[in-house]
Structure 1
Amino acid sequence: MSQDNLTRLSRRSLLAGGTAFFASAALAGPQQTLRPVARGGASSESAAVPANARPVARQGAVDLIAAAGLAGQVGFVISDVATGEVLEVVDGSLARPPASVTKALTAVYAMEILGGDYQFQTQVLGTGPIVDGVLDGDLVLAGGGDPNLVTDELAQLVTQLADAGLKQVNGRFLVWGNALPGEKEIEPGQLDQLGYNPSLGGLNLNFNRVFFEWAQSGADYTVSMDARSETLRPVVKMARMQIVDRKLPVYAYAEGAGTDDWTVAKGALGKSGSRWLPVRFPALYAGDVFRTLAQDAGITLPVAALVNDLPAGTQLARFESVPLTQMARDMLLYSTNLTAEVIGMMATAKQAGVPQDMRSSAATMAQWLTERTGMVLQLSDHSGLSDQNRVSGLDMVKLLNAAQVQAELRPLLKTIAMVDENRRAIKDFPARVRAKTGTLNFVSTLAGYLDTDTGRSLSFAIFAYDPAAREESLSSQDEQPRGASGFNSKAKKLQQDLLQRWAMLGRITG
């Protein structure tokens, strides 16, 4: 579900249908190739397939799809990177939800527009002088959009203030998060408690999530809400939890006056546990945590208040993020939705000269990709969390084959291990796969590059989508709808089967 499977507390943990084909005789023995001789007759893929798409071997491809037992729509495209030749295709022209493969598109866009050296900046400003440890004016925590800012880094800003001798503020403590237009959640309509569907804006912290922890104590529970990171666990006051006696829903959210008010069903808790919950007021969340950290450092601040326009002031402290190249690599590895949305929106702000809301920005990014590559796609976000995004396999490999895209994207993609029937890594497998995965309930995708040890490079896109089951799952009120796990497992098994087949055939023809 584009879920950030995050369990540790380090930065890495916080980052945390119908079938159409060209048929030919089955391949056998050493003559196996991705370029068999065609039988007569027309293909059912239709004129949408490029003229240079050659007939394909029936062995494995269509039969593997049939054997996978996946309901809905399943398709793929495999092409030669050097020539752009489409070597094998099943329903390649049908546009489907790419899920988190969308993040690969966003990485290309952001790297091109912002540059790999781009860094986000978070500042603390003072609107007056500091005299004898007292700021005679307002203190402003000003976000620059950094999607990966965590509590430990916020504490570095506090340390800079303490080192400058600040002890007290006579004015207000203001937080500014309007470097980017805010969104209360990336994809409306999903369950309240999904931590991978947080708010976003110009001031973000801990991927805009709060850590909820509980433990049974007699007939009652002790609960806590904190902003933990690798070394710190400051208590959060603007997010509150109440345990109630009910069966469903397990979690319910209500928006307070700058507060996130949660309730949870008592019967669902068990003896103890924890999870990340989204926050819907990210700038106030960051301000709440900053104030606690400041108090621990001996700096007294009033309660944080939002400000729409950034006040003029003197920079008292600054934190710069890692360069975009590293941020994009982590985003593709851990599939962090907030990172994708922010870097996409920041790139649009630079390209268009003015920040755009998330959906407008996604449409602008889609138009840019179309103009640069000729691919046709529909985007509602930059992360793939929306199932309204659409791209075809043929268009996806068209993007992957572009020379500039290869140079920027290939080094950022994670290695996909080839495994045997027991899910053990295959030792000395004669090819390397670098790709982006994508997962929603009843959507499973994979796209990237397959490089054989003979030096041949292939690009591919594999899309599986069951629209009927997907639609039903959205109204189930279940974080793991029935059948979703099975669909995902079958889809990933099919991806392995296809990639291993292509790797062996690609070596022979390479």
Structure 2
Amino acid sequence: MLYRPLSLCLLLLLPLTALGHGFTRLSSLADDGFVIGAEARLLGNGEPGETLGSLEPQRLLSPASVTKVYLAAAALDRLGPQHRFTTRLVSTAEPDDQGVLHGDLVLEGGGDPALTTEDLWRLVQRLHQAGVREVTGSLVVSQWRFGPVSCITTDRCEGERRVDNAYSALLSSAAVNYGNWCVTVAPARIPGDPAEVTSCDSQSRLPRIDNRVATRPDDSGTELTAERLTEDDGDVMRVGGQISTNAHPREVYRTSADPAAQAADILMAMLGQADIPVQGGQATSTTQPPASARRLAAVDSEPLQELLLRTLNYSNNFMADTLALDLAEVPRPSLSQAGDALEAFAGTIPGHGPATLESGSGLTPENRTSAAGVNALLEHMFRRPSLFPSFVAALQSPGNGVMRFIRRGSATFQHHVMLKTGTLNQPVTVRAVTGYFRTLSGRWGVFTVLVNGTGATPYLSWTTVLDRLSRDLDAMIQAH
């Protein structure tokens, strides 16, 4: 009994890192009602590393776009860094001596999350090289792998009729341009005239355009609004606001209501510009082309490691969820079934613990994981030398990352950390960060911070979170 007061005094004299707390500044967010799960630890040489910071690390919270590190790890594990997705033009017919294809021309979507207009142009060129000069049948876009995928988030469901953003794109294995329409807004020569609004992808007006943009005198400023509406005869881009006569053209992106139909529209316009008429019109299909279909042209995606860099650096929800659907092992999967594949992967990680993943993007607010679980994933990838370079390259350094809002904190934080952030504002606030750090002595560490609000918590800025986190991590990095 005499030793207990002395032991307690010695315990109180220990630094917070020894107690496993460490996040002294970040933890103050709890005073405003935010729920926090956090952990930072060094990576040992085959042994558990020293814990430098810990705040309820097993607590299950929403990770928002931190979910994308699960997607990246699972995709690298399943497919490998050099995997490419193939999009094909196929037909059961062959062109005759005059180049006439007596049958349907089918675009077989390969689940490429980064299929672009340039890829479609390449397909058309290769179709021409294959001798096709005319199609008597129809152009059919086949999304037999997946699509249209049922919406399970508010943003995507509302986007089936109208949308004012580019991040909530609907999903299809035959989508192009990340499921977005693009229009270019350029000033007219004379102030007061309507601006010039054209399609980014075609000489045709795809989609239909409702131009409400006025041209203003030099240096009047440019302020644009854009909304994609869906009417009975297809999508319409309604663009409003103003643009100065001396302004550069601006590109505006909004999600389409039917990605496969959008791909058909764009490809049909390109075939027309290449003087390859299609007599039977266009359609979409969920049926796999028959085994007898012959490949007329094909285009491959960039390697998976390049796709993941874009997916995580820009936190591209469309790419992440498309890749998750590519990983599902059931025919024509739903987004939830794609999440099952990610959960199964998480279950193979030593020491991970429970997780609920309903998507690969993190747009689904039902996703749940723990700071300790995410760190287990990061350590698992660190110990896989054939995959780790591709995995860590998809993260950002605060000092030179593409997202400007992370460029905060000391030089130590900016240049010794690589991270991925996650943000949600509805139904509750989520600010999440995960990644690797290097100490001053060159040791590797992992950290994850999950901050969730409630209906009663105030708005939480990234400045508040990153300023406190950077100071906590700075101390850990400096101390080792």
**Smaller-chain TM-score bracket:** 0.7 to 0.9
Q: Which residue of structure 2 aligns with residue 389 of structure 1? A: 367
**Change in CA separation of 1:227 and 1:367 when aligned onto 2, cut-off 3 Å:** same
Distance 2:21 2:335 in 1: 43
C-alpha displacement of 1:359: 1.2
Q: Aligned to 1:270, what secondary structure does the other structure show?
A: strand
* Aligned residue identity for 1:155: W
1:206 matched to 2:187: no
Taking the aligned partners of 1:454 and 1:431, their CA distance within structure 2 comes to: 14
> In structure 2, do the counterparts of structure 1 residues 70 and 135 end up closer, same or farther at CA, with 3 Å as the change threshold?
farther
1:463 aligns with 2:442: no
Instruction: Work out whether 1:260 is the aligned partner of 2:235.
Output: yes
Determine the structure 1 residue equivalent to 2:120: 154
Instruction: Give runs of aligned pairs for residues 82-101 of structure 1, distance below 5 A.
Output: 82=44, 83-101=48-66
Q: Which runs of 5+ in 1 are unaligned?
A: 1-22, 28-32, 36-54, 471-482
Say yes or no: does 1:443 pair with 2:425.
no
Q: Is the 8 A contact 1:254 1:260 kept in 2?
A: yes
- Which residue of 2 is the match for residue 307 of structure 1? 285
1:251-400 alignment runs, 5 A limit: 251=227, 253-254=229-230, 256=232, 259-263=234-238, 269-271=241-243, 274-302=251-279, 303-312=281-290, 313-349=293-329, 352=330, 354-373=331-350, 374-400=352-378
Map 1:114-125; keep pairs closer than 5 Å: 114-125=79-90
Which one-letter code corresponds to 2:398 in the other structure? A
CA shift, 1:412, in A, is 3.1
CA contact (8 A) 1:68 1:491 kept: no
Matched, 1:237 2:206: yes
- How far apart, in 2, do the equivalents of 1:75 and 1:436 lie? 16
CA distance in structure 1 between the aligned counterparts of 2:476 and 2:208, rounded to whole angstroms: 50
Contact residue 398 and residue 408 of structure 2 kept, 8 A: no
Match of 2:6 in 1: none
- Check whether the contact 1:446–1:495 (CA below 8 A) recurs between aligned residues: no
* Distance in 1 separating the partners of 2:433 and 2:383: 17
- TM-score, length of structure 2 as denominator length: 0.79
Structure 1 CA distance for aligned equivalents of residues 336 and 71 of structure 2:
13
Counterpart selection for 1:194 from 142, 149, 165: 165
Cα distance between partner residues in 2 of 1:24 and 1:401: 31
Q: Secondary structure at the match of 1:376?
A: coil
The structural deviation recorded for 1:165 is 2.9
1:380 is aligned with what amino acid? E
Other-structure match for 1:126: 91
For normalisation by structure 1, the TM-score amounts to 0.75
Instruction: Report Cα offsets for 1:258-286 as digits up to 9, x if no partner.
Output: x224556x5xx234765210012111111
Contact 1:346 1:355 in 2 (8 A): no
2:149 and 2:357 map into 1 onto residues whose CA distance is 17
**Correspondence for 2:35:** 73
1:51 matched residue in structure 2: none
Alignment-derived partner of residue 416 in structure 2: 432
1:497 aligns with 2:463: no
Distance (Å, rounded) in 1 between the aligned partners of 2:433 and 2:127: 46
Q: For residues 411 and 349 of structure 2, what CA distance do their matches in structure 1 show?
A: 39
Mapped to 2, the partners of 1:57 and 1:365 lie a distance apart of: 30
In structure 1, what is the Cα distance between the partners aligned to 2:432 and 2:115? 29
Tell me if the contact between 1:149 and 1:205 (Cα under 8 Å) persists in the aligned partners.
Answer: yes
Identity %: 23
Cα deviation digits, residues 200-254 of structure 1 (max 9, x gap): 11101110101134467776745645244xxxx544535554759xxxx984633
Q: 2:104 corresponds to which letter in structure 1?
A: D
CA contact (8 A) 1:210 1:239 kept: no
The equivalent of 2:395 in structure 1 is: 414
Structure 1 pair 215–152 and aligned structure 2 pair: CA distance change class (3 A): closer
Q: Deviations over 1:311-350 (max 9, x none)?
A: 332111000111212212221222111111111111123x
Q: Quick one: which of 12, 17, 28 aligns to 1:34?
A: 17
Deviation at 1:143, TM superposition (A): 0.9
On the 8 A contact 1:106/1:340 being kept in 2, the answer is yes
Q: Structure 1's 155 and 426: CA in aligned 2 closer, same or farther, altered over 3 A? A: same
What is the CA-CA distance between 1:87 and the residue it aligns to?
A: 3.0
AA at the equivalent of 2:199:
D
The count of aligned residue pairs is: 429
User: Residues 165 and 433 from structure 1, CA distance in 2 versus in 1: closer, same or farther, beyond 3 angstroms?
Assistant: same
Unpaired runs of at least 5, structure 2: 1-10, 214-224, 245-249
CA distance in 2: counterparts of 1:319 and 1:423, whole angstroms? 37
Task: Report how far residue 81 of structure 1 moved.
Answer: 1.7
Using the TM superposition, give the Cα deviation of residue 489 of structure 1 relative to its aligned residue in structure 2, in angstroms. 2.0
- The answer to whether the Cα contact below 8 Å between 1:145 and 1:202 also exists between their aligned partners in 2 is yes
Q: CA deviation at 1:406?
A: 5.2
SS at match of 1:384: coil
SS at match of 1:78: strand
